[in-house]
Amino acid sequence: MTHSTDAAAPSLDALRDHLDAHPDPAAREWCRQALAEAADHPGGHGPITAWELRLAEAGRRCGSRHADAARVLILHAAHAGTAALTRVYRQGTAAERRAVLLALPHLVSGPDALPLVEDALRTNDTRLIAAAVGPYAARHLDAHSWRHAVLKCLFTGVPVDAVAGLAQRAHADAELARMLTDFAAERTAADRPVPSGLYRVLALAGPETRKES
Amino acid sequence: MRLFDPHIHMTSRTTDDYQAMRAAGIRALVEPSFWLGQPRTSPASFLDYFDSLLGWEPFRAAQHGIAHHCTLALNPKEANDPRCAAVLDELPRYLVKDQVVAVGEIGYDSMTPAEDKALAAQLQLATDHGLPALVHTPHRDKLAGLRRTLDAVRESALPMDRVLVDHLNETTVEEAKDSGCWLGFSVYPDTKMDERRMVEILRAYGPEKVLVNSAADWGRSDPLKTRAVADLMLAEGFTEDDVDRVLWRNPVAFYGLSGRLDLDVAPPDATHEGNSLARGGE
Ligand SMILES: [Zn+2]
């Protein structure tokens, strides 16, 4: 999974390449130092570790287009575990929370960071929802929560491409197919368009016959 | 016309306001943390509010193509409540965040010793974090309040040219300008300034270091007042460049002192698929 080329889950190498291609040498140098510092001093004394400060300022140091990559790599370099990730998430801006969610599949093997995914899925912030439905959620969310996560993506306009492991988890899921069919019926009754991704997921979840209206 | 509202409390405003602001030309805003009308009773209540200014509110703004930054602080009114004062200890971990472009609103409400203490502590926090400060002037006893405010800044480590003194009017503008601080004017439907008085002040004192805001909140206020001032400036013979200076370049220069202003706002991908905000909560 770590080296997947799935759009839902860029590999660490892909993130490194993205940062290395930063047009501004000062930003590249800042990233290099921040990663080295996180690797050398993952712990810390005082109320806040140095790498957590770097995490907070990554946006202004390397720009919003590279901040996700920088933050995920800083978390990885610091070997942040569930406790540190939980602290960073709880004390973080939306951008930092997003980075924690993106880093989960690279840093946590068991299900103990699931409360962070569940927190993000309760929000209506599509940046957080999209990051929450990555490979970590695919691996650990129970069937009920996973189905609701897919439905929430369709509801809030997060493209279903963001959902990692979609084909495998949706496969022959009759309950998911029912939920999608009901949602489509509700939208149609309200004269509102059915999200384009819905029929794609329905085709994966349903039996052989497709239920297009 | 591109407009920047450097002081507006969007938490108290509706989606219709965001839409109207975007249509009026507002591309960027700063939301200072402030009193919510209902007094808070614990620091935790502040923290949820700060989180919202760094999370949900910028998301809402981005959906309308508006760049959202904030200023964080313990406001002067609640500095007087010992149950809230502990939030000062939490501020440092917030002041390092990317979208925080100043410490504020700080200043005086009733000019108490507790307010003296909170103001001095937060001017120091601004200095420590490389941030400018948004300092409001009190609604009551304004000129005395301004003088005490400027004294507090002079006694602090923060240089006067990193301070925006807000809610100025005809009685306070001259002394504020002489001090070398940035000059903020809140244009309201019936109190504080109106656009006609604002234009007169611009004529008398010039556009240098002048910022105009709506300070719109949960009270009677109008989030389109920046546009109203721009329109009247043009009608009264000011140039497009004057308007751009007061309503875009000056706020960009002041909050840019933080090194954290990012005006490149990309709406979240989801909005391309349909407006998620309207649907998300249903
Ligand atoms: Zn205000």
Name which of A61, A88, A90, A93 to mutate to probe chain B: the one with the most chain B Cβ atoms within 10 A of its Cβ.
A93
Cβ–Cβ gap A157/B264 under 8 Å: no
pLDDT value of residue B277 = 39
Instruction: Report which secondary-structure segment, H or E, holds B134.
Output: strand B133-136
Which residues face B102 on adjacent strands? B71
Contact A97 B277 (CB under 8 A): no
B52 to chain A: which residues are within 8 Å by CB? none
Average pLDDT, chain B: 93
> Rounded to 5, what percent of chain A is helix, strand, coil?
70, 0, 30
CB contact under 8 A, B98 and A60: yes
Helix (H/G/I), strand (E/B), else coil: B55: coil
CB contact under 8 A, A157 and B96: no
Using alpha carbons only, how large is chain A's radius of gyration in Å?
19
B280 → closest Cβ in A91, A95, A155: A155
Strand (E) positions, B10-76? 26-32, 67-72
Among the listed residues B171, B170, B181, B61, the one whose alpha carbon sits nearest the alpha carbon of residue B133: B181
- For residues B98 and A57, the answer to whether their CB atoms sit within 8 Å is yes
pLDDT at residue A157 greater than cutoff 70 = yes
What domains can be seen in chain B, in order of their start residue?
Answer: 3-256 (3.20.20.140)
* Chain A CB contacts of B281 below 8 Å: 124
What's residue B160's pLDDT?
A: 98
Rounded to the nearest angstrom, the distance between the alpha carbon of A93 and the centre of ligand 1 is: 22
Residues of A in contact with B279 (CB under 8 A): 155-157
pTM: 0.92
Binary contact (B277, A124; C-beta < 8 A): yes
Chain B residues with CB-CB distance to A under 8 A? 54-56, 58-59, 92-93, 96-99, 259-260, 262, 264, 266, 268-271, 273-277, 279-282
Report which residue type is found at B227: R
pLDDT for residue B264: 86
CA dist B145 → A13, A165, B6, B140, B148 (Å): 57, 61, 22, 8, 5
Q: Which of A59, A91, A126 sits opposite B270 (nearest CB)?
A: A126
pLDDT digit string, tens, across residues B177-198:
999 999 999 999 887 689 999 9
- Do the Cβ atoms of B280 and A56 come within 8 Å? no
Count Cβ atoms within 10 A of the Cβ of residue B90 and give its class: 0-12 exposed, 13-18 middle, 19 or more buried.
middle
Which among B55, B273, B282 has the least Cβ separation from residue A93?
A: B55
Q: What percent of chain B has pLDDT over 90?
A: 90
DSSP code per residue over A140-163: H--HHHHHHHHHHHHHHT--GGGS
Contacts of A123 in chain B (CB under 8 A): 56
Q: What's the angle, vertex CA B48, arms to CA A147 and CA B104, rounded to 5?
A: 140
Question: A55 pLDDT band (50/70/90 cuts)?
Answer: very high
Q: Which of A93, A155, A193 sits opposite B54 (nearest CB)?
A: A93
pLDDT digits (tens, 9 = 90+) for A18-29: 999 999 999 999
d(CA B107, CA A197): 52
| Shortest alpha-carbon distance between residue B60 and chain A (Å) | 9
**The pLDDT of residue B267 is above 80:** no
B93/A48 CB distance under 8 A:
yes
CA distances (Å), origin A192, targets A154, A195, B31:
13, 9, 35
Which residue of chain B has the CA closest to A54?
Answer: B96
pLDDT over 50 (residue A5): no
Q: Position A183: which residue type?
A: F
